[in-house]
Structure 1
Amino acid sequence: MAGRAVLVTGGAGFIGSHLVDALVAAGARVRVLDDFSSGRRENLAAAGTRVEVVEGDVCDERALDHALAGADTVMHLATRCVRLSLSDPEDVHRVNSHGTLRVLLAARRHGARRVVYVSSSEVYGSGVKVPMTEDHPLEPTTVYGATKLAGELYTQAMTRSFGLPTIVVRPFNTYGPRAHFEGVYGEVIPRFTVRLLNGRRPVIFGDGLQTRDFTYVGDTVRGLVAAVSVREATGRVFNLARGEEVTVRRLAELLAKAIDPTLSPEFTEARPADVRRHWADVSRARAELGFEAPVSIEEGLARYVAWFRETYPDPAACLRDEVVRNW
């Protein structure tokens, strides 16, 4: 990666900012394009002056031309989240589908040598054959999942039609430092953590037997860097995950054990269109990218809770704007 000029869209977000840190550490020249609707400038503090920041929308052609000037590699992470697609599906379509096409067209216009499209495990819908390979049926249950799948199809079509070198990666549920706990972007692990640190029971939507393949952010980022580094990966699709199925109920138990074992979860109605089962087969990424995700759910949660305690010494402040039903 040393010396490469890399544009990271959504680079001030949770996963994006960790990717920026890894690229800077590897010697890349990094530029970030972010509209800061969910990303934070403080997420880029570690990279400091070694990263250039362009504030703008991926649907804005001027912003894209500015951000792509001189870039040879594009890593496209900018997105609107799954819960937002339940309340504002049109904006999710605008950013995730139309925005992805805009990024791809701009990358072609500027002669990018490689584009990595960061999709989502949500393109699969619920697992019907597990562990789920990249050839698993694609049956998204939400507008978010459908827009991420549309982005995949645009990405692959740009390769077939115009020879744009692209790669599609499908991260499963990524967690770790900088993950959102607030509002519509709040994810399950940060939300459980905030409630437990405040002496409140974590709230599970549904029966808690739905499963996810929780993957520590450092492992996800290593997979992203591998995808952009391996020339033979062009045109391929890869799952990035720990490769371990964990129920949401077990997740709540593990976090309670780490914070306050007396707090058992409470249950409420299921979230609309929630997938029932996710468990990734990562053998393709292992064989072709050398990918491994060594951080277990127990170790990853311990790291996350330690980071959270240090970063937010007053957890009560994190609970002030909580909305339990955040969609």
Structure 2
Amino acid sequence: MKIVVTGGAGFIGSNVVRALVEMPEVTEIIAVDDLSTGTLENLVDLPSRFLSGTILDAGLLDEALAGAASVIHLAAVPSVPRSIDDPVRSHQANATGTLMVLEAARRHRVSQVLLASSSSVYGANPALPKREALRPMPLSPYAVSKLATEAYALAYSSCYGMAVLPFRFFNVFGPGQAADHAYAAVVPAFVSAALDGRPLRIFGDGRQTRDFTYVGSVSSVIVEAVRRRVSARDAVNLAFGTRVSLLDLVAELEAVLGHPVDVVHEASRSGDVRDSQADCTRLRELFPTVRPQPLRVGLEATVGWMSARVPAGR
């Protein structure tokens, strides 16, 4: 079976490709990426075919999707702050890009489309934990574009009978996640700073909470969805109901490193939500055998991966 991964050279995408390689049912893997945030280094030694280009290119999508059994659509311009700086680019990549992928999947009669949405769609809705039936209240262009991603998928399911599964990701972290840019996610930013001996920057008081999800757990769910051909009539949270403050994250990181780290507090950022925690009832119903990696285990793997990339003597 042929599987296409858009954003396949990115952090989550390359981890998914690595997991797909272990599936005996998979005979061909196509990774599509424009390398705007991904890197070919992530695909080194993985038996996949790489197609360079944007998902806004219908011809490229036709080449990639012809004969595919499933599309795992992860390509996006990530980050809330990045979308605030450039909302049009965020919309084009995340909303219009999703529409292009769905149209290509329809042209080629792909039997399953899995898509990445985001917990950011809950936005200002204060209810915890975040149940999929809650009213979305997005606070950023990124969140709006991700809401459009899942809405388009569900519309295509309704109009064209397409089997879709939109996942709402919650603060995914792990090996392969870049920290060397201004929009880096909090875990790689913290780990990189700690390894460099720099203070960890916390925007706000640090008591804001997140449902940190190890990328290996995300990949396991996605691979299981492909294997069992799982689809859904609504978005599904892909997280496991943990609630960790940034201050607690710092404490966990100190325990992994074996020494304290310095922290500096800065003003809260526009578009950031205060608290996030998934209700994983629907996920457990669809994937009852999947077990998440504990935060400590995920941090150990992330620190190990990033330590190997710190130049000697730095």
Shared fold (TM-score greater than 0.5)?
yes
Q: CA 1:23–1:232 in structure 2 vs 1: closer, same or farther (change >3 Å)?
A: closer
| 1:128-170 Cα distance to aligned partner (Å, 9 max, x none) | 2222121122111110010000111111111111111111111
Name which of 86, 95, 98 aligns with 2:96. 98
Greater alpha carbon shift after TM alignment, 60-69 vs 6-15: 60-69
Could you tell me whether the CA contact under 8 Å between 2:166 and 2:236 is conserved in 1?
Answer: yes
What CA RMSD, in Å, does the superposition of the two structures yield over aligned residues? 1.6
The equivalent residue for 2:164 is 166
Could you tell me whether the CA contact under 8 Å between 2:256 and 2:300 is conserved in 1?
Answer: yes
| Mapped partners of 1:220, 1:278: distance in 2 | 17
Matched, 1:40 2:42: no
| 1:210-247 Cα distance to aligned partner (Å, 9 max, x none) | 11100111001111122333345343421111321001
| Mapped partners of 1:138, 1:296: distance in 2 | 28
3-state DSSP class of the match of 2:252?
A: helix
- Report deviation, 1:309: 1.3
Matched, 1:63 2:72: no
Could you tell me whether the CA contact under 8 Å between 1:176 and 1:216 is conserved in 2?
Answer: yes
Could you tell me whether the CA contact under 8 Å between 2:198 and 2:262 is conserved in 1?
Answer: no
| Mapped partners of 1:314, 1:130: distance in 2 | 44
3-state DSSP class of the match of 2:158?
A: helix
- Report deviation, 1:127: 5.1
The correspondence of residues 269-280 of structure 1 with structure 2, limited to 5 A, is 269-280=267-278
3-state DSSP class of the match of 2:21?
A: helix
The equivalent residue for 1:128 is 126
| 1:239-277 Cα distance to aligned partner (Å, 9 max, x none) | 111321001111122213333633231101111110111
3-state DSSP class of the match of 1:94?
A: helix
| Mapped partners of 2:226, 2:244: distance in 1 | 29
| 1:149-205 Cα distance to aligned partner (Å, 9 max, x none) | 011111111111111111111111111000110214411111111111122220101
Name which of 11, 16, 39 aligns with 1:14. 11
Q: Structure 1 length as normaliser, TM-score?
A: 0.91
Could you tell me whether the CA contact under 8 Å between 1:196 and 1:260 is conserved in 2?
Answer: no
Greater alpha carbon shift after TM alignment, 211-220 vs 22-31: 22-31
The correspondence of residues 296-315 of structure 1 with structure 2, limited to 5 A, is 296-314=294-312
Name which of 225, 239, 242 aligns with 2:240. 242
The equivalent residue for 1:254 is 252
- Report deviation, 1:293: 3.8
| Mapped partners of 2:167, 2:197: distance in 1 | 38
| Mapped partners of 2:127, 2:227: distance in 1 | 30
Could you tell me whether the CA contact under 8 Å between 1:117 and 1:166 is conserved in 2?
Answer: yes
Aligned-residue sequence identity (percent) comes to 38
The equivalent residue for 1:323 is none
Q: Structure 2 length as normaliser, TM-score?
A: 0.94
| Mapped partners of 2:229, 2:198: distance in 1 | 49
3-state DSSP class of the match of 1:118?
A: strand
Q: CA 1:254–1:126 in structure 2 vs 1: closer, same or farther (change >3 Å)?
A: farther
* Count of aligned pairs between the two proteins: 311
The equivalent residue for 1:319 is none
| Mapped partners of 1:155, 1:193: distance in 2 | 35
| 1:42-88 Cα distance to aligned partner (Å, 9 max, x none) | 101131xx211110101111111111122121110000012210111
Unmatched 5+ stretches in structure 1: 317-327
Matched, 1:77 2:77: no
The equivalent residue for 1:147 is 145
Could you tell me whether the CA contact under 8 Å between 1:223 and 1:291 is conserved in 2?
Answer: no
| Mapped partners of 1:179, 1:127: distance in 2 | 28
| Mapped partners of 2:10, 2:156: distance in 1 | 26
3-state DSSP class of the match of 1:233?
A: coil
| Mapped partners of 1:186, 1:18: distance in 2 | 18
Query: Which residue identity does 1:90 align to in structure 2?
Result: V
The equivalent residue for 1:322 is none
The equivalent residue for 1:290 is 288
Q: CA 1:26–1:134 in structure 2 vs 1: closer, same or farther (change >3 Å)?
A: same
Could you tell me whether the CA contact under 8 Å between 2:210 and 2:243 is conserved in 1?
Answer: yes
